[in-house]
Amino acid sequence: MRATIRDVAKVAGVSIATVSKVFNGYSDINQETKEKIFEVAKELDYTPNMAARTLSSKSQQTIALILNEFNFNRKSTMPLEVLNGVYKFTEQSDFEFVFYGTSTEKQESKTFRQFCNEHNITGAVIQGLKMTDPYYYEIQETSLPTVLIDIVMDNPQVGTVSIDSEAASLEAVNYLISRGHQNIGMINGSRDANVSTLRESGYRQALEKNDLLVNESYVQYANFDEDIAFLITKNLLSSHKEITALFCASDIIAIGAMRAARDMGKKVPEDLSIIGFDDIVLASYVTPTLTSVAQDMETIGFEAAKLLTEIIKDNLEEKINHWIIPHDIHYRESVADVKKDQK
Protein backbone atom coordinates (compact mmCIF):
# COMPACT_ATOMS: atom_id res chain seq x y z
CA MET A 1 0.00 0.00 0.00
CA ARG A 2 1.24 3.45 -0.88
CA ALA A 3 2.64 5.54 1.99
CA THR A 4 0.74 8.74 2.80
CA ILE A 5 1.70 12.05 4.37
CA ARG A 6 0.01 10.79 7.54
CA ASP A 7 2.39 7.80 7.62
CA VAL A 8 5.43 10.07 7.27
CA ALA A 9 4.19 12.36 10.06
CA LYS A 10 3.54 9.43 12.41
CA VAL A 11 6.95 7.79 11.91
CA ALA A 12 8.79 11.14 12.11
CA GLY A 13 6.87 12.14 15.23
CA VAL A 14 5.64 15.45 13.80
CA SER A 15 2.33 16.89 12.62
CA ILE A 16 0.93 16.46 9.12
CA ALA A 17 1.15 20.25 8.73
CA THR A 18 4.90 20.13 9.44
CA VAL A 19 5.46 17.46 6.77
CA SER A 20 3.40 19.51 4.32
CA LYS A 21 5.44 22.63 5.04
CA VAL A 22 8.72 20.78 4.48
CA PHE A 23 7.67 19.47 1.06
CA ASN A 24 6.28 22.86 0.07
CA GLY A 25 9.53 24.67 0.88
CA TYR A 26 8.50 26.69 3.94
CA SER A 27 11.48 28.24 5.73
CA ASP A 28 10.13 28.14 9.30
CA ILE A 29 11.08 24.48 9.88
CA ASN A 30 14.48 23.76 11.41
CA GLN A 31 17.08 21.80 9.44
CA GLU A 32 17.13 18.82 11.81
CA THR A 33 13.37 18.30 11.41
CA LYS A 34 13.61 18.67 7.64
CA GLU A 35 16.33 16.03 7.40
CA LYS A 36 14.39 13.64 9.62
CA ILE A 37 11.25 14.02 7.48
CA PHE A 38 13.19 13.52 4.25
CA GLU A 39 14.86 10.42 5.69
CA VAL A 40 11.52 8.90 6.75
CA ALA A 41 9.94 9.76 3.41
CA LYS A 42 12.78 7.96 1.63
CA GLU A 43 12.44 4.89 3.86
CA LEU A 44 8.67 4.76 3.21
CA ASP A 45 9.12 5.45 -0.53
CA TYR A 46 6.88 8.50 -0.17
CA THR A 47 6.77 11.40 -2.60
CA PRO A 48 4.32 14.30 -2.35
CA ASN A 49 1.40 13.66 -4.69
CA MET A 50 1.35 16.98 -6.47
CA ALA A 51 -1.01 15.71 -9.17
CA ALA A 52 -3.60 14.71 -6.56
CA ARG A 53 -3.32 18.11 -4.87
CA THR A 54 -3.80 19.77 -8.22
CA LEU A 55 -6.98 17.80 -8.86
CA SER A 56 -8.38 18.36 -5.38
CA SER A 57 -7.81 22.10 -5.53
CA LYS A 58 -9.26 22.30 -9.03
CA SER A 59 -6.24 24.29 -10.12
CA GLN A 60 -4.11 23.76 -13.21
CA GLN A 61 -3.84 20.19 -14.48
CA THR A 62 -0.87 18.99 -16.50
CA ILE A 63 -0.58 16.45 -19.31
CA ALA A 64 2.88 15.03 -19.93
CA LEU A 65 4.16 13.44 -23.09
CA ILE A 66 6.84 10.91 -22.17
CA LEU A 67 8.94 9.60 -25.05
CA ASN A 68 10.93 6.47 -24.29
CA GLU A 69 14.37 6.16 -25.91
CA PHE A 70 13.72 9.51 -27.63
CA ASN A 71 15.40 9.48 -31.04
CA PHE A 72 14.61 12.36 -33.38
CA ASN A 73 16.63 12.68 -36.57
CA ARG A 74 16.31 13.96 -40.11
CA LYS A 75 15.12 10.64 -41.46
CA SER A 76 12.27 10.10 -39.01
CA THR A 77 10.22 12.91 -37.52
CA MET A 78 7.62 10.61 -35.93
CA PRO A 79 8.35 11.55 -32.27
CA LEU A 80 8.10 15.23 -33.20
CA GLU A 81 4.78 14.60 -34.96
CA VAL A 82 3.37 12.93 -31.84
CA LEU A 83 4.61 15.83 -29.73
CA ASN A 84 2.97 18.29 -32.08
CA GLY A 85 -0.34 16.43 -31.88
CA VAL A 86 -0.40 16.36 -28.07
CA TYR A 87 0.61 20.02 -27.93
CA LYS A 88 -2.13 21.05 -30.36
CA PHE A 89 -4.76 19.38 -28.21
CA THR A 90 -3.55 21.03 -25.01
CA GLU A 91 -3.53 24.40 -26.77
CA GLN A 92 -7.32 24.18 -27.19
CA SER A 93 -7.95 22.75 -23.72
CA ASP A 94 -7.54 23.80 -20.09
CA PHE A 95 -4.58 21.47 -19.61
CA GLU A 96 -0.93 22.48 -19.41
CA PHE A 97 1.58 20.53 -21.51
CA VAL A 98 5.05 19.26 -20.56
CA PHE A 99 7.44 16.92 -22.34
CA TYR A 100 9.95 14.47 -20.91
CA GLY A 101 12.32 11.90 -22.35
CA THR A 102 13.08 8.68 -20.53
CA SER A 103 15.02 5.46 -21.01
CA THR A 104 15.17 1.95 -19.58
CA GLU A 105 18.04 3.05 -17.32
CA LYS A 106 16.09 6.03 -15.95
CA GLN A 107 13.05 3.85 -15.34
CA GLU A 108 15.17 1.52 -13.21
CA SER A 109 16.26 4.40 -10.97
CA LYS A 110 12.81 5.94 -10.38
CA THR A 111 9.33 4.41 -10.51
CA PHE A 112 6.60 5.71 -12.80
CA ARG A 113 4.61 6.85 -9.76
CA GLN A 114 7.55 8.72 -8.29
CA PHE A 115 8.35 10.37 -11.61
CA CYS A 116 4.79 11.61 -12.14
CA ASN A 117 4.32 12.77 -8.55
CA GLU A 118 7.56 14.71 -8.52
CA HIS A 119 6.77 16.45 -11.80
CA ASN A 120 3.21 17.46 -10.97
CA ILE A 121 1.75 15.25 -13.70
CA THR A 122 -2.02 14.73 -13.78
CA GLY A 123 -1.87 12.23 -16.65
CA ALA A 124 0.66 10.94 -19.17
CA VAL A 125 0.83 10.00 -22.84
CA ILE A 126 3.69 7.56 -23.46
CA GLN A 127 5.25 6.53 -26.77
CA GLY A 128 8.02 4.04 -27.43
CA LEU A 129 7.54 1.86 -24.35
CA LYS A 130 9.02 -1.62 -24.71
CA MET A 131 7.44 -4.73 -23.22
CA THR A 132 10.64 -5.29 -21.20
CA ASP A 133 10.71 -1.80 -19.65
CA PRO A 134 10.09 -1.35 -15.89
CA TYR A 135 7.27 1.14 -16.61
CA TYR A 136 5.49 -1.44 -18.78
CA TYR A 137 4.91 -3.68 -15.78
CA GLU A 138 4.13 -0.85 -13.36
CA ILE A 139 1.58 0.79 -15.66
CA GLN A 140 -0.44 -2.43 -15.75
CA GLU A 141 -1.53 -1.59 -12.20
CA THR A 142 -1.20 2.20 -12.11
CA SER A 143 -4.02 4.43 -10.92
CA LEU A 144 -2.62 7.46 -12.72
CA PRO A 145 -4.52 8.27 -15.95
CA THR A 146 -2.23 7.11 -18.77
CA VAL A 147 -2.49 6.63 -22.52
CA LEU A 148 -0.04 4.41 -24.37
CA ILE A 149 0.63 4.68 -28.08
CA ASP A 150 0.50 1.23 -29.71
CA ILE A 151 0.24 -0.84 -26.50
CA VAL A 152 -3.00 -2.23 -25.04
CA MET A 153 -3.36 -2.95 -21.32
CA ASP A 154 -6.21 -4.35 -19.26
CA ASN A 155 -6.42 -1.40 -16.89
CA PRO A 156 -9.37 1.06 -16.90
CA GLN A 157 -6.99 3.91 -16.10
CA VAL A 158 -4.81 3.13 -19.13
CA GLY A 159 -5.96 3.89 -22.67
CA THR A 160 -4.45 3.12 -26.06
CA VAL A 161 -4.35 4.97 -29.36
CA SER A 162 -2.98 3.20 -32.43
CA ILE A 163 -3.65 2.08 -35.93
CA ASP A 164 -4.50 -1.58 -36.45
CA SER A 165 -0.93 -2.69 -37.14
CA GLU A 166 -1.94 -6.30 -37.63
CA ALA A 167 -4.59 -5.48 -40.25
CA ALA A 168 -2.30 -2.96 -41.96
CA SER A 169 0.48 -5.55 -42.29
CA LEU A 170 -1.96 -8.14 -43.59
CA GLU A 171 -3.09 -5.66 -46.23
CA ALA A 172 0.48 -4.78 -47.23
CA VAL A 173 1.59 -8.40 -47.63
CA ASN A 174 -1.64 -9.23 -49.49
CA TYR A 175 -0.67 -6.50 -51.95
CA LEU A 176 2.70 -8.16 -52.57
CA ILE A 177 0.97 -11.49 -53.11
CA SER A 178 -1.48 -9.86 -55.53
CA ARG A 179 1.53 -8.80 -57.61
CA GLY A 180 2.60 -12.44 -57.90
CA HIS A 181 5.13 -12.67 -55.05
CA GLN A 182 5.22 -15.90 -53.06
CA ASN A 183 8.68 -15.90 -51.48
CA ILE A 184 8.30 -12.88 -49.22
CA GLY A 185 10.73 -12.08 -46.43
CA MET A 186 10.13 -9.84 -43.43
CA ILE A 187 12.65 -7.53 -41.79
CA ASN A 188 11.02 -6.85 -38.43
CA GLY A 189 11.82 -4.32 -35.74
CA SER A 190 12.51 -5.41 -32.18
CA ARG A 191 11.41 -8.56 -30.37
CA ASP A 192 10.35 -6.54 -27.31
CA ALA A 193 8.24 -4.00 -29.25
CA ASN A 194 4.49 -4.62 -29.29
CA VAL A 195 4.14 -3.24 -32.83
CA SER A 196 6.71 -5.74 -34.08
CA THR A 197 4.63 -8.60 -32.72
CA LEU A 198 1.48 -7.25 -34.37
CA ARG A 199 3.13 -6.56 -37.73
CA GLU A 200 4.67 -10.00 -37.83
CA SER A 201 1.28 -11.51 -37.00
CA GLY A 202 -0.25 -9.68 -39.99
CA TYR A 203 2.57 -10.93 -42.23
CA ARG A 204 2.03 -14.53 -41.14
CA GLN A 205 -1.74 -14.31 -41.51
CA ALA A 206 -1.42 -13.02 -45.09
CA LEU A 207 0.80 -15.94 -46.09
CA GLU A 208 -1.38 -18.52 -44.37
CA LYS A 209 -4.62 -17.16 -45.84
CA ASN A 210 -3.06 -17.40 -49.30
CA ASP A 211 -1.87 -20.98 -48.69
CA LEU A 212 1.78 -19.95 -48.63
CA LEU A 213 4.17 -21.59 -46.19
CA VAL A 214 5.81 -19.43 -43.54
CA ASN A 215 9.56 -19.93 -43.78
CA GLU A 216 10.90 -19.05 -40.33
CA SER A 217 14.31 -18.17 -41.74
CA TYR A 218 12.66 -15.47 -43.86
CA VAL A 219 11.83 -13.44 -40.70
CA GLN A 220 14.71 -11.37 -39.34
CA TYR A 221 15.00 -8.55 -36.76
CA ALA A 222 16.82 -5.27 -37.34
CA ASN A 223 15.89 -3.36 -34.16
CA PHE A 224 14.46 -0.55 -36.33
CA ASP A 225 18.04 0.34 -37.32
CA GLU A 226 18.94 1.16 -40.93
CA ASP A 227 22.51 -0.16 -40.78
CA ILE A 228 21.46 -3.41 -39.11
CA ALA A 229 18.74 -3.80 -41.75
CA PHE A 230 21.39 -3.29 -44.44
CA LEU A 231 23.50 -6.16 -43.10
CA ILE A 232 20.57 -8.47 -42.40
CA THR A 233 19.12 -7.95 -45.86
CA LYS A 234 22.41 -8.81 -47.56
CA ASN A 235 22.67 -11.98 -45.51
CA LEU A 236 19.02 -12.93 -46.09
CA LEU A 237 19.15 -12.39 -49.85
CA SER A 238 22.45 -14.26 -50.13
CA SER A 239 21.06 -17.23 -48.23
CA HIS A 240 17.66 -17.21 -49.94
CA LYS A 241 18.04 -16.18 -53.54
CA GLU A 242 14.41 -17.16 -54.17
CA ILE A 243 13.07 -14.19 -52.17
CA THR A 244 11.44 -11.65 -54.51
CA ALA A 245 9.89 -9.25 -52.00
CA LEU A 246 10.44 -7.85 -48.51
CA PHE A 247 7.92 -6.51 -46.03
CA CYS A 248 9.70 -4.16 -43.62
CA ALA A 249 8.36 -3.14 -40.20
CA SER A 250 9.46 0.48 -40.70
CA ASP A 251 10.54 2.79 -43.49
CA ILE A 252 13.98 3.16 -41.89
CA ILE A 253 14.38 -0.62 -42.16
CA ALA A 254 13.11 -0.52 -45.75
CA ILE A 255 15.66 2.15 -46.68
CA GLY A 256 18.42 -0.06 -45.25
CA ALA A 257 17.07 -2.97 -47.31
CA MET A 258 17.04 -0.84 -50.46
CA ARG A 259 20.67 0.10 -49.88
CA ALA A 260 21.57 -3.57 -49.43
CA ALA A 261 19.82 -4.60 -52.64
CA ARG A 262 21.62 -1.89 -54.57
CA ASP A 263 24.95 -2.91 -53.03
CA MET A 264 24.32 -6.47 -54.23
CA GLY A 265 23.59 -5.32 -57.78
CA LYS A 266 19.85 -5.91 -57.46
CA LYS A 267 17.33 -3.42 -58.80
CA VAL A 268 14.24 -2.31 -56.84
CA PRO A 269 11.57 -3.17 -57.87
CA GLU A 270 12.70 -5.17 -60.93
CA ASP A 271 14.60 -7.78 -58.89
CA LEU A 272 13.21 -7.11 -55.42
CA SER A 273 9.97 -5.43 -54.32
CA ILE A 274 9.96 -3.66 -50.96
CA ILE A 275 7.19 -2.27 -48.73
CA GLY A 276 7.88 -0.12 -45.68
CA PHE A 277 5.81 1.01 -42.71
CA ASP A 278 5.15 4.50 -41.25
CA ASP A 279 5.29 6.58 -44.47
CA ILE A 280 7.91 8.99 -43.18
CA VAL A 281 8.62 12.05 -45.32
CA LEU A 282 11.71 10.42 -46.83
CA ALA A 283 9.59 7.57 -48.30
CA SER A 284 8.41 9.77 -51.16
CA TYR A 285 11.93 11.09 -51.91
CA VAL A 286 14.10 7.95 -52.04
CA THR A 287 14.76 6.32 -55.42
CA PRO A 288 12.64 4.45 -56.22
CA THR A 289 9.91 6.01 -54.09
CA LEU A 290 8.83 3.67 -51.31
CA THR A 291 5.45 1.98 -51.02
CA SER A 292 4.54 2.27 -47.35
CA VAL A 293 1.80 1.82 -44.75
CA ALA A 294 0.87 5.33 -43.66
CA GLN A 295 -0.08 6.27 -40.12
CA ASP A 296 -0.80 9.86 -39.11
CA MET A 297 1.33 10.30 -35.99
CA GLU A 298 0.17 13.86 -35.35
CA THR A 299 -3.45 12.69 -35.28
CA ILE A 300 -2.43 9.80 -33.03
CA GLY A 301 -0.78 12.27 -30.62
CA PHE A 302 -3.81 14.57 -30.70
CA GLU A 303 -6.26 11.73 -30.07
CA ALA A 304 -4.04 10.29 -27.31
CA ALA A 305 -4.20 13.59 -25.43
CA LYS A 306 -7.95 13.76 -26.00
CA LEU A 307 -8.46 10.21 -24.70
CA LEU A 308 -6.29 10.99 -21.69
CA THR A 309 -8.49 13.91 -20.69
CA GLU A 310 -11.57 11.69 -20.99
CA ILE A 311 -9.96 9.18 -18.61
CA ILE A 312 -8.97 11.96 -16.19
CA LYS A 313 -12.54 13.27 -16.18
CA ASP A 314 -13.97 9.72 -16.04
CA ASN A 315 -16.01 10.69 -19.07
CA LEU A 316 -15.55 7.68 -21.37
CA GLU A 317 -18.70 6.39 -23.02
CA GLU A 318 -19.08 2.63 -22.48
CA LYS A 319 -15.51 2.67 -21.06
CA ILE A 320 -13.98 2.18 -24.52
CA ASN A 321 -10.36 3.16 -23.98
CA HIS A 322 -8.72 1.82 -27.16
CA TRP A 323 -9.10 4.23 -30.05
CA ILE A 324 -8.14 2.97 -33.52
CA ILE A 325 -6.89 5.57 -36.01
CA PRO A 326 -7.36 4.75 -39.73
CA HIS A 327 -4.31 3.77 -41.77
CA ASP A 328 -3.63 3.85 -45.49
CA ILE A 329 -1.16 2.35 -47.93
CA HIS A 330 0.62 4.75 -50.24
CA TYR A 331 1.46 2.85 -53.40
CA ARG A 332 4.67 4.04 -55.04
CA GLU A 333 7.48 2.69 -57.22
CA SER A 334 9.16 0.11 -54.96
CA VAL A 335 6.74 -2.73 -55.80
CA ALA A 336 6.35 -4.43 -59.19
CA ASP A 337 4.92 -7.68 -60.53
CA VAL A 338 7.16 -10.67 -59.97
CA LYS A 339 9.18 -11.52 -63.07
CA LYS A 340 8.31 -14.72 -64.91
CA ASP A 341 11.75 -16.22 -64.34
CA GLN A 342 11.36 -15.62 -60.57
CA LYS A 343 8.15 -17.65 -60.20
| Cβ neighbours for 340, distance < 8 A, ≥ 6 positions apart | none
Cα separation, 110 vs 118, in Å, equals: 10
Does 62-163+297-312 match 5-47 at the fold level?
A: no
Q: Which class does domain 165-294+329-342 fall in?
A: alpha beta
Task: Please give the pLDDT value at position 4.
Answer: 83
Task: Please give the pLDDT value at position 58.
Answer: 45
Where exactly are the structural domains of the chain?
A: 5-47, 62-163+297-312, 165-294+329-342
Task: Please give the pLDDT value at position 339.
Answer: 84
Blockwise average pLDDT, block size 10, the chain, 343 residues: 82 88 74 88 76 48 88 72 95 91 89 88 93 93 94 92 98 98 97 95 98 96 96 97 97 97 97 97 95 97 95 76 95 94 72
DSSP string over 182-228: -SEEEEE--TT-HHHHHHHHHHHHHHHHTT----GGGEEE-TT-HHH
Q: Which CATH superfamily is domain 62-163+297-312 in?
A: Response regulator (3.40.50.2300)
CATH classification number, 5-47, choose in 1.10.260.40, 1.10.760.10, 3.90.550.10, 3.40.50.9100: 1.10.260.40
